[in-house]
Amino acid sequence: MKSGNARQAMNRGLWDRTDGLSHQVPGSGGPDGNNYDPLRLPPSLQPTNVYGLDYTRFPRCFKIDIPTVHIYGIKDPRYTSSMQLAHFCAEDKRRVYDHGGGHEIPRTTKVSEQIAELLYWLEKTMEEQKSYM
Give 74's DSSP letter: T
Over its length of 133 residues, how does the chain's per-residue pLDDT go in tens digits? 455 554 454 455 666 677 777 777 665 445 555 677 899 998 888 999 999 999 999 999 999 999 999 999 998 999 999 999 999 999 999 999 999 888 989 999 999 999 999 999 999 999 998 776 6
DSSP β-bridge partners for residue 98: 72
Q: What pLDDT is stored for residue 11 in this prediction?
A: 54
Q: What pLDDT is stored for residue 28 in this prediction?
A: 46
94: containing domain? 5-132
Write down the pTM of the prediction. Answer: 0.78
Q: What pLDDT is stored for residue 5 in this prediction?
A: 55
Helix, strand, coil share of the chain (percent; to 5):
40, 10, 50
Q: What pLDDT is stored for residue 86 in this prediction?
A: 97
CB 117 within 8 A of CB 91: no
Number of domains in the chain: 1
